[in-house]
Amino acid sequence: MSKAKTPRKAPNYKKRNLIVKILFFIVVLIIGGISFGAFIMTLFGALPTFAAWYRDNNPRKSLGYTVGLTNTTCIFLVIKDLLPMGQHLTQAMPYLQNPWYWCMIYIGAVVGYGIHNMTPKIVIKTLRWNFQGKIQELKRTQHQLVQQWGPDVVGE
């Protein structure tokens, strides 16, 4: 007896994306409760993530996730020094005014955009290279068959 397979349900990307948005905003609010300087850095540093998320029309939000992961990684690398300062904005001002921190955050977003834009091209070139190898292998096999059985095998 064979079991009848039930049809697979399509994943609900809207629900997953809503959960990710809610979690992101909860994390931003928690950071705001811990340190006001880190909240400012997170809010303005995550602008590329917000732009990528709302610009992406794909239901899977691949651009938003790619830019968001690289951007928020760089944000957390910067705000790790700001979180222990608490709500003292005067102590956080040197960090907020340092252009290198902002460059690091936005370079993280640029890396995310680069990964998203270059991945399809790399995959296509890799597949093309793989298929060219398969074609060459089939041509060698065909040539061996023609030598062994004659040209009638090919049907030309």
- pLDDT tens string 7-66: 777 678 888 888 988 998 899 889 888 888 899 999 999 999 999 999 988 888 899 999
Q: Can you tell me the mean pLDDT for 76-90? A: 87
Confidence label for 150 from pLDDT (cuts 50, 70 and 90)? confident
Kindly tell me if the per-residue pLDDT of 1 is higher than 60. Answer: no
104, 76 contact by CB (below 8 A): no
Judged by DSSP in three states, 155 sits in coil
Q: Considering the entire predicted model, what is its pTM?
A: 0.75
Q: Is the pLDDT of residue 4 over 70?
A: no
- Cα–chain center distance at 81: 26
Q: Which residue from 77, 79, 78, 70 is spatially nearest to 49, judged by alpha carbons?
A: 70
φ, ψ of residue 11 to 5 degrees: the values are -65, 145
CA-CA distance, 22 to 144, in Å (whole number)? 62
CA 79 – CA 76 distance, rounded (Å): 5
The 8-class DSSP code of residue 153 comes to G
Which is more confidently placed, 18 or 104? Answer: 104
